């Protein structure tokens, strides 16, 4: 199947880039946790959560609009017909980022005081200064996705960026500027990627891209599609829950909880990598009404996301304490929270690409409703549970929101395309995970690295013995050809 092979080829670059990105992000986290400590990490997580949350009002969801409309314009109007779209989104986003950043800088003391963190207003102001810089690269990155310029986006966004980030952090640490290390790193990386983004645009599409314009009707269509994604982006990741914890917990506790959330999300490298290419592919196949090809891609990608995420989920659920100990003994206080959040994420991996189906079939309003529901669940539970149960209460709120929203998306995606991402074959990785877990439990070892390697080998062997079906052979064949030929 041609579409599966295209997903596979793009998936190689995407998975490799995501692997590098996530690996270096955890190197960054390891360095920060050991050299800076939980308190500085907590302050950083809290301040950047506020800045990035407000920064979403600069984008207003137009990043998703780029991914949806870029391949659509190219298919309907011809090569480079989407360049005016890039110019519009860049100008729109940067103008808004400058306005929002200025307002945040002015009102930073009031914001910090409201959350009982008056001493951190300076940190919020530094993030406010960096906002226009940090808003530029995501636009370029998403346009590369929509134009299938996958190698370019990954090379600079997923590989170069985290490398620069780690080295800049090390430089700040060795200069003794620990208080400014994290925010300073974000500011410098934002500046570097701003310059790189401009150079990429000029190299790939020429200087003329900055002179091309969309019609008012086209701008209106882009905004009407994009704006419903704003609540989705506001609720994305751990930002909202981190901000709420700032009302009730100390910076040290926020730091521990932030590390828990970062570790639990590690398996998302697989989900992100496969969905990277799946999004424009779904848009294309749905526009062509090629439902049989869409069904094959959807189910095969879902199975492989589930297959590849199970090993890490197992470690996070059953060995949460030893995993957190890698970042310092103080962080083991979040072991129960890690187990709870990891269970929630495992459910998300099982439902896989339902959100992609909803978004890339033009149902952005449905995504808006979903994220309002998700946000309501997480916020209400966070306010109810965190004051009494601390970070464990926060973990329950996050996990409950993940489970509820993915059940809803699963039902909605079925109503849209008429099929689910499941087949009986999905039970094979579950059986393989159970077999591997039983075997590892029989091995007397408390070393998390030894346990992890043993489980991975046992799990891989079980998957091979249970065999794979024809659609997955197509996907793997495409991966092999891209890697070795």
pLDDT digits (tens, 9 = 90+) for 439-451: 777 766 557 777 7
Q: What are the backbone angles phi and psi of residue 398, rounded to the nearest 5°?
A: -65, -50
Q: What is the largest CA-CA distance in the chain?
A: 67
Taking a C-beta distance cutoff of 8 angstroms, is the pair 46, 52 a contact? no
pLDDT digits (tens, 9 = 90+) for 139-188: 888 888 777 777 777 777 778 889 999 999 999 999 989 889 999 999 99
Decide: 245 and 378 in contact? Cβ < 8 Å.
Answer: no
> Does residue 92 have a pLDDT over 70?
yes
Mean pLDDT of 453-471: 73
User: With bands split at pLDDT 50, 70 and 90, how would you rate the model's confidence at 425?
Assistant: low
Give yes or no for residue 4 having a pLDDT over 60: no
Q: Residue 485 above 50 pLDDT?
A: no
C-alpha distances out from residue 421 to 68, 299, 307, 357, Å = 21, 4, 14, 10
Say if pTM beats, i.e. exceeds, 0.85.
no
> Angle formed by the axes of helices 2-35 and 178-205, to 10°?
160
Average pLDDT in the 70-76 region? Answer: 78
Alpha-carbon span 71 to 74, nearest angstrom? 5
Condensed to tens digits (0 to 9), the pLDDT of residues 254-288 reads 999 999 998 888 777 666 656 655 666 666 666 66
Residue 406: closest CA among 454, 380, 374? 374
User: For residue range 342-394, what is the model confidence (pLDDT) as tens digits?
Assistant: 999 888 887 767 777 776 666 767 877 887 888 889 999 999 999 999 999 99
Q: Assign 94 a pLDDT band (cuts: 50, 70, 90).
A: very high
* 354 contacts 412 by C-beta, under 8 angstroms: yes
Residue 17 has pLDDT above 50, yes or no: yes
Long-range contacts of 176-184 (CB under 8 A, 24+ apart): 178/35, 178/36, 178/40, 179/40, 180/126, 181/32, 181/36, 181/40, 182/32, 182/36, 182/40, 182/41, 182/44, 183/44, 183/47, 183/48, 183/123, 183/126, 183/127, 183/130, 184/126
Measured CA to CA, the distance from residue 302 to residue 429 in angstroms comes to 12
C-alpha to C-alpha distance for 92 and 99, rounded to whole angstroms: 11
d(CA 259, CA 283): 35
pLDDT for the residue numbered 67: 81
Q: Which helix (H) or strand (E) holds 331?
A: none
Tell which residue, 94, 95, 100, 152, has the closest CA to residue 124.
Answer: 100
Residues 365, 224: Cα–Cα separation, whole Å: 9
Q: What confidence score (pLDDT) does residue 335 get?
A: 94
Q: Quote the pLDDT of residue 11.
A: 53
Mean pLDDT of the chain: 81
pLDDT, position 274: 60
400 within 8 A of 386, measured Cβ to Cβ: no
Report the percentage of the chain scoring pLDDT > 70.
81
Give domain limits for the chain.
36-227, 228-478
Map residue 256 onto helix, strand or coil. Answer: helix
Q: Is the pLDDT of residue 453 over 80?
A: no
C-alpha distances in Å from residue 419, one per residue of 103, 300, 354, 424: 47, 13, 11, 14
Half-sphere exposure of residue 335, counting CA atoms within 13 Å on the CB side?
Answer: 14
CA separation for the pair 383, 248 (Å, rounded): 9
In the prediction, which pLDDT does 479 show? Answer: 42
Q: What is the pLDDT of residues 177-200, one digit of tens each?
A: 988 999 999 999 999 999 988 888
Cα–Cα distance, 457 to 437 (Å, whole number): 11
Cα separation of 230 and 416, whole Å? 22
Confidence of residue 122 (pLDDT cuts 50, 70, 90): very high
Instruction: Return the higher-pLDDT residue of 66 and 295.
Output: 66
């Amino acid at each position: 199947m041609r579409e599966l092979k295209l997903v596979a080829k793009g998936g190689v670059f995407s998975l490799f880039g995501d692997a590098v990105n996530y690996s270096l992000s955890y190197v960054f986290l390891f360095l920060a946790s050991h050299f800076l400590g939980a308190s500085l990490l907590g302050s950083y997580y809290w301040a950047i959560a506020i800045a990035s949350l407000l920064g979403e009002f600069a984008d207003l969801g137009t990043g998703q609009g780029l991914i949806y409309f870029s391949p659509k314009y190219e298919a309907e109007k011809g090569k480079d017909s989407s360049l005016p779209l890039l110019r519009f989104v860049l100008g729109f986003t940067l103008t808004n980022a400058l306005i929002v950043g200025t307002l945040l800088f002015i009102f930073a003391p009031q914001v910090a005081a409201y959350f009982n963190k008056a001493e951190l207003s300076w940190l919020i102001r530094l993030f406010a200064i960096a906002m226009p810089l940090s808003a530029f690269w995501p636009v370029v990155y998403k346009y590369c996705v929509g134009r299938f310029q996958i190698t370019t986006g990954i090379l600079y966004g997923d590989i170069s960026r985290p490398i620069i980030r780690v080295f800049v952090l090390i430089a700040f640490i060795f200069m003794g500027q620990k208080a400014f290390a994290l925010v300073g790193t974000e500011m410098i990386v934002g500046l570097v990627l701003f310059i790189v983004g401009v150079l990429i645009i000029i190299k790939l599409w020429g200087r003329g891209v900055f002179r091309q314009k969309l019609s008012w009707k086209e701008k209106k269509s882009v905004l009407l599609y994009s704006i419903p994604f704003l609540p989705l982006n506001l609720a994305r990741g751990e930002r909202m829950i981190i901000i709420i914890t700032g009302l009730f917990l100390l910076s040290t506790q926020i730091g521990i909880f932030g590390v828990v959330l970062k570790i639990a999300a590690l398996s998302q490298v697989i989900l992100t990598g496969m969905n990277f290419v799946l999004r424009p592919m779904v848009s294309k196949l749905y526009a062509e009404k090629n439902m049989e090809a869409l069904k094959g891609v959807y189910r095969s990608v879902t199975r492989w996301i589930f297959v590849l995420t199970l090993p890490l989920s197992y470690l996070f659920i059953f060995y949460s304490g030893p995993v957190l100990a890698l970042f310092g003994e103080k962080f083991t206080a979040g072991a129960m929270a890690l187990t709870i959040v990891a269970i929630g994420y495992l459910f998300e991996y099982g439902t896989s690409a339902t959100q992609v189906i909803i978004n890339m079939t033009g149902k952005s309003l449905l995504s808006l409703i979903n994220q309002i529901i998700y946000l309501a669940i997480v916020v209400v539970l966070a306010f109810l549970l965190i004051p009494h149960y601390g970070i464990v209460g926060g973990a329950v709120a996050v996990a409950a929101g993940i489970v509820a929203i993915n059940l809803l998306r699963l039902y909605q995606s079925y109503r849209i395309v008429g099929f689910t991402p499941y087949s009986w074959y999905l039970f094979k990785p579950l059986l393989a995970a159970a077999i591997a877990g039983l075997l590892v439990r029989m091995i007397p070892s408390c070393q998390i690295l030894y346990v992890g390697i043993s489980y991975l080998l046992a799990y891989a062997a079980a998957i091979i013995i249970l065999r794979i079906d024809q659609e997955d052979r197509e996907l793997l064949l495409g991966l092999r050809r891209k890697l070795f030929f």
